[in-house]
Chain A
Amino acid sequence: MQTLVPETDVVKRIVAERRGRPGPLLEILHAIQGELGYIPGGAVPVVAQGLNLSRAEVHGVVTFYHYFRRSRPGTHTVQICRAESCQSMGAEALAEHARARLGIDFHETTANGRFSLEPIYCLGNCACSPAVMIDGQLHGRVTPERFDALIAAGEKAK
């Protein structure tokens, strides 16, 4: 059985490992989100103390960047590109379809904790629009049918 390490210990370790690097705050936040899936509110004072910053400064950085999240994500994170290139190939209809299929709006997580739906502004796959990224895997020319197949795979997978 996996030993549960308290979140604060994880944050303290990450800060200790990286505090000596030049301009380390973003790297530290990336590492925390990488391990815990999000930046818990309790991490902010720990990071602030470790870097000799105010809590406001750390909070300000966490909230400035769209990528950092302050709540636990679903098992799978579904990002739908909403930028111009994907719009020209039906991304708005795809977004509508995704909302209906998952029963949630953007920035929400399904009640069973399976999927989080996030908007994204360009995945750099603009010659294969519309694009979707699921757990870091990129998908191009995504039709509503293909989207449903990807979600069905996510429902089965652990």
Chain B
Amino acid sequence: MTTIVYVPGDAGALSLGAGEVAAAILAEAKRRGADVTVVRNGSRGAYWLEPLVEVVTAAGRVAYGPVSAADVPALFAADFLRGGVHPKAHGVTDSIPWLQGQQRLTFERVGVIDPTSVADYVKHGGYRGLTRALSMSGADIVQAITTSGLRGRGGAAFPTGIKWKTVLDQRTAQKYVTCNADEGDSGTFADRMLMEGDPLSLIEGMTIAGIAVGATQGYIYLRVEYPHALRTLQAAIAAATQAGYLGADVAGSGKRFDLEVRVGAGAYICGEETSMLESLEGKRGEIRVRPPLPAIKGLFGQPTIVNNVITLGSVPWILDHGADAYANFGTGKSRGTLPIQLAGNIRRGGLIERAFGLTLRELLYDYGGGTATGKPIRTVQVGGPLGAYIPASQFDTAVDYEALSGIGALLGHGGIVVFDDSVDMARMARYAMEFCAIESCGKCTPCRIGSTRGVEVIERIIQGIDAERNVQLLEELCDLMVQGSLCGLGGMAPFPVQSALKYFREDFRARPR
């Protein structure tokens, strides 16, 4: 009988040598005459253990990691195909403490299944949500999403049900469902992991959205930096079409839903929804002035749902288990679970899906184990390049929308980037302005010009030129950008700068040159 060995095909695992590991396992199995089938799953999200190899044994899936190709002969010698003892063995995967304490709803299949196999997806609960949705009216599906309390996971946290209801209420022949997969925030990779590890959940979520509001065409707007996700999505769309879950007759319902992937071209601003729509139309990704909302006049002027990957990927679970089951997770107005991404200078980085409410301290120390460099954590940036830097004195803040905005920070897409005490916050502030200058779409002046002036002013502070006066000038410039910019890029790029000034003022003082 063949032994099944899982070796992730996830881009992050591949970046650490998972491809070489898979090849080495097959070669060694051949040499020894062992009957082995290698399945390329997604990542479990424990990147500190990647490449994480799992073997299916009588006791369950047994994990080994981080495995390098050089470890493979020793693993065979230790009889890892039957769960043998080895210094890199971690026992049954599901009982690894880092994974065991998680509450995986949206990521329940990621790292578990063969990502592009419809049969494996269905075996693990896939398409039960769509089946349920097909027995409901559009209004009832939308109501279920509203009741679940699901809010946009891309960063804006807008209630998903309200957005869907607006599209449902429009009377037009053509509507669209679009997925914003332009995951550009540094420190975030949940979208990528879901698209590579369980793309069918996103496809099912979009199909349910289409059925709910009467849209027959879906587009996934994927960033060009994700070539692995592109290949997986295209294979999954082909498989779903082949199995009758996409196309003219979705699951025998007589309803149509077609889906295709469109690739961006390296513009951060296209993660802003109206800019993304412009880009999908083949134009410069300049933002649109709202109103009208995309839900009323969106892609090609038609009513359009624009949701993030995680938002749409959570929809099948909600339809399958019920809105109340989802709303039972979480706290206050932050319902459900959040896939948190622990990144940067951290010992045990990766994806942690838990109900809202965990504190930063629990994440950084209990899960993360402190910095990778072993030095103290000085600050974390939450919510991407537009998010505030949070000092250690505020690490008892809960990771939910309201608690973070209560301390002047934002949750964004749930990425946390960790810095040790060697970080120079004046340089990080300069980078925030530099990034805004590089990525500004140019439509409004506060963002286009303000960011460049910001780089110059901070540079002067770093050079020790008239630091006090320039800090004051910088504060005024930040105010102007926040108040005067058209969208979140120019309007929020000052947040990391303002927080650095507020909590790490000493880094902006005249310094020895």
**Quick check: is B16 within 8 A (CB to CB) of the other chain?**
yes
Taken together as a complex, chains A and B put the C-alpha atoms of A61 and B225 apart, in Å, by 18
Taken together as a complex, chains A and B put the C-alpha atoms of A76 and B435 apart, in Å, by 25
**Quick check: is B411 within 8 A (CB to CB) of the other chain?**
no
**Quick check: is A40 within 8 A (CB to CB) of the other chain?**
no
Task: Mark out the residues of chain B between 269 and 303 whose CB falls within 8 Å of any chain A CB in the assembled complex.
Answer: 279-286, 300
Q: In the complex the two chains form, is A129's CB within 8 Å of B14's CB?
A: no
The segment from A9-17, A95-103, A120-128 that touches chain B is A120-128
When C-beta atoms are compared, the residue in chain A nearest to B438 turns out to be A121
When C-beta atoms are compared, the residue in chain A nearest to B183 turns out to be A124
Task: Mark out the residues of chain A between 118 and 158 whose CB falls within 8 Å of any chain B CB in the assembled complex.
Answer: 120-129, 131, 133, 136-141
Task: Mark out the residues of chain B between 364 and 386 whose CB falls within 8 Å of any chain A CB in the assembled complex.
Answer: 372, 381, 385
- For B224, the chain A residues whose CB sits under 8 A away are 30, 67
A119 CB to closest chain B CB (Å) equals 9
Q: In the complex the two chains form, is A89's CB within 8 Å of B282's CB?
A: no
- For A61, the chain B residues whose CB sits under 8 A away are 282-284
Taken together as a complex, chains A and B put the C-alpha atoms of A121 and B435 apart, in Å, by 9
- For A85, the chain B residues whose CB sits under 8 A away are 186-187, 343-344, 415, 417
Per a CB cutoff under 8 Å, which of A26, A124, A125, A129 touches B279? A26
Per a CB cutoff under 8 Å, which of A23, A127, A139 touches B341? A127
Q: In the complex the two chains form, is B186's CB within 8 Å of A84's CB?
A: yes
Q: In the complex the two chains form, is A26's CB within 8 Å of B15's CB?
A: no
Q: Which of A29, A125, A136 has the most CB of B within 10 A?
A: A125
Query: CB-CB contacts of B207-226 with A at 8 A, as 1s and 0s?
Result: 00000000000000000111
List 28 A-B residue pairs with CB atoms under 8 Å apart, sorted by A's residue number: A23-B281, A26-B265, A30-B263, A60-B284, A65-B266, A66-B265, A67-B264, A83-B385, A84-B187, A84-B428, A86-B186, A88-B423, A89-B372, A122-B188, A122-B225, A124-B189, A128-B15, A128-B16, A128-B47, A128-B50, A129-B343, A131-B15, A136-B227, A138-B11, A138-B15, A138-B228, A139-B15, A141-B16
Apart from A22-B300, A128-B47, list 5 A-B contacts with CB within 8 A.
Answer: A27-B263, A61-B283, A86-B186, A126-B188, A138-B228
Q: A-side interface residues toward B, CB under 8 Å?
A: 22-27, 29-30, 60-61, 64-68, 83-89, 120-129, 131, 133, 136-141
